[in-house]
Amino acid sequence: MITLALSKGRIFDESLPLLAAAGIEVLDDPERSRKLILATNRADLRVVLVRASDVPTYVSHGGAHLGVAGLDVLLEHDDGLYRPLDLGIARCRLSVATRADFDYASAVRQGSRIRVATKYTQMARRHFAAKGVHVDLIKLYGSMELAPLTGLADAIVDLVSSGGTLAANRLLEVERIMDISARLVVNPAALKIERETLRALIDAFERAVQARA
């Protein structure tokens, strides 16, 4: 039995068409059932629903053979997962945003110390270190937009897709750090043991991604 880890929401929703193109149909609707293990039309394949940030943990520790996770989650997690395939789904970008009255460009140019609130401390640390910008990182778990509005931070590093949430909170996207999309990750040991089945699945995903491009 092959176990595929997905997270509820956009990863699950956007994975469905790729699974369908690979001939896989998930037999339960996670929005209507409370099941965490979902059967598929294939007797040898099941889906487990985990928190988006738990997908790498499941896959690297063998709780799932493979999984779909955002590049943001993978780069924050940093471990040796076999990362074969950009699925091109759940697209967004990691950006720096500030209040309109904060002059980010000047602060960077003058070498000032900037207070940055984020859930993505690893990626933020790497980004600002590469630019030589001095930052005090403040770890948050959600509602990042609030930080510059309350004076907790000068800037945030967060995922942006439409920009609607930033606009609703009158924040400006002042720097784009990187483009993000979801990847298919595979447990390297599982790839050796279940080589044929997993290879066939990865190839099917690959064809589905190419067919959409």
Which residues of the shown chain bind ligand ATP in the complex (CB under 6 A)? 7, 9-11, 51-53, 70, 72-73, 90, 92, 159, 161, 180, 182
Q: Is the separation of the CB atoms in 49 and 58 below 8 Å? A: no
Answer whether 79's CB lies under 8 Å from 53's CB. Answer: no
Closer residue to ligand ATP (CB): 9 or 23: 9
Which of residues 90 and 135 has its CB atom nearest to ligand ATP in the complex?
90
Q: How far is the CB of 158 from ligand ATP (least distance, A)?
A: 8
What is the nearest approach in angstroms of ligand ATP to the Cβ of residue 12? 8
Rg for the chain (alpha carbons), in Å? 19
DSSP bridge partners of 137: 116
Other beta carbons within 10 Å of 193: 10
The number of residues in the chain equals 213
List the beta strands (DSSP E) in the chain: 2-6, 37-39, 45-49, 66-70, 82-86, 92-99, 114-118, 135-139, 155-160, 171-180, 182-186
Alpha carbon 13 to chain centroid, angstroms: 14
Give least dist CB 164 to ligand ATP, A. 9
Q: How far is the CB of 151 from ligand ATP (least distance, A)?
A: 24
Q: Which residue is nearest to ligand ATP (CB)?
A: 70
Nearer to ligand ATP by C-beta: 107 or 147? 147
Taking the complex as a whole, how short is the minimal distance between the CB of residue 103 and ligand ATP, in angstroms?
26
Which residue number, 53 or 121, has a Cβ lying nearer to ligand ATP? 53
Q: Are 71 and 182 in contact (CB under 8 A)?
A: yes
Considering beta carbons, is residue 10 or 42 the nearer one to ligand ATP? Answer: 10
Contact assessment for residue 125 and residue 134, using Cβ atoms and an 8 Å cutoff = no
